[in-house]
Homo-oligomer: A and B are copies of this chain.
């Protein structure tokens, strides 16, 4: 019955934390800039939801995730006391989000799923970020849905229902796939099918959240390749 799968991206498909720590560590070493890069990355990710919530709750006008990332970075550079980062360096660092690396199962799993289903992103990233990311990582999307298409961030209903509308499919024929129970709970609330697998090492060591399915999601898998197997792809 499901005809299309729409994927959360950060954490579900790509390893944002490992990628950013690696890129920033290499960047710092090349420029001779010392900092606690893992802590910066975790703080940067910590700013993610609050920065989107300010948009979602009307405290500020629409802004893309690239803009929110840059603003959060500016604040953290000050808080971490990092010096020596000019405008070009700040742009470069913000664009590290455009080249996050996929989890090992992502590309082969998506290639299998693409043969049987329409596969798309449904991410809070903006289209430019997601297109660059897909190109860099070799993610074979049929369609890229980003927050800027809807001018809303998940879990606003406009995102889930907007993707279904643009695919011209009823929500029951679209499966939201995420490693995050909260994303799936919102999708289910709007009638979408749901697919879950854990990414136990998405966050810093000791990650407690999202280690297991917290509802009876329609499919619970180990990773994207296992999802493909369970969906007969």
Chain A positions within 8 Å of B, measured between CB atoms, are 64, 66, 118, 120, 126-128, 131-132, 134-135, 142-144, 146, 148-149, 166-169
A148 to chain B: closest residue by CB: B166
Contacting pair A128 B166 (CB below 8 A):
yes
Measured between beta carbons, the chain B residues less than 8 angstroms from A168 are 64, 66, 126-128
A128–B146 CA distance with the chains assembled, in angstroms: 16
Contacting pair B142 A166 (CB below 8 A):
no
Measured between beta carbons, the chain B residues less than 8 angstroms from A143 are 127, 131, 143-144
Measured between beta carbons, the chain B residues less than 8 angstroms from A134 are 142
Min distance, Cβ A111 to any Cβ of chain B, angstroms? 13
A-B contact pairs, 5 of them (CB 8 A): A127-B143, A128-B166, A131-B143, A144-B144, A149-B166
Min distance, Cβ A68 to any Cβ of chain B, angstroms? 14
A168–B132 CA distance with the chains assembled, in angstroms: 11
Min distance, Cβ A164 to any Cβ of chain B, angstroms? 10
Min distance, Cβ A142 to any Cβ of chain B, angstroms? 5
A-B pairs, 6 with minimum CB distance? A128-B168, A127-B166, A131-B143, A131-B142, A128-B167, A143-B144
A118-B132, A118-B135, A126-B168 are known; give 8 further A-B pairs, CB within 8 A: A64-B168, A120-B131, A127-B166, A128-B167, A142-B144, A143-B143, A144-B144, A148-B166
A168–B146 CA distance with the chains assembled, in angstroms: 13
Measured between beta carbons, the chain B residues less than 8 angstroms from A126 are 166, 168
Measured between beta carbons, the chain B residues less than 8 angstroms from A118 are 131-132, 135
A126–B126 CA distance with the chains assembled, in angstroms: 20
A149–B146 CA distance with the chains assembled, in angstroms: 12
Min distance, Cβ A10 to any Cβ of chain B, angstroms? 18
Measured between beta carbons, the chain B residues less than 8 angstroms from A135 are 118, 142
Measured between beta carbons, the chain B residues less than 8 angstroms from A131 are 118, 120, 142-143, 167
A64 to chain B: closest residue by CB: B168
A135 to chain B: closest residue by CB: B142
Min distance, Cβ A112 to any Cβ of chain B, angstroms? 15
Min distance, Cβ A66 to any Cβ of chain B, angstroms? 7
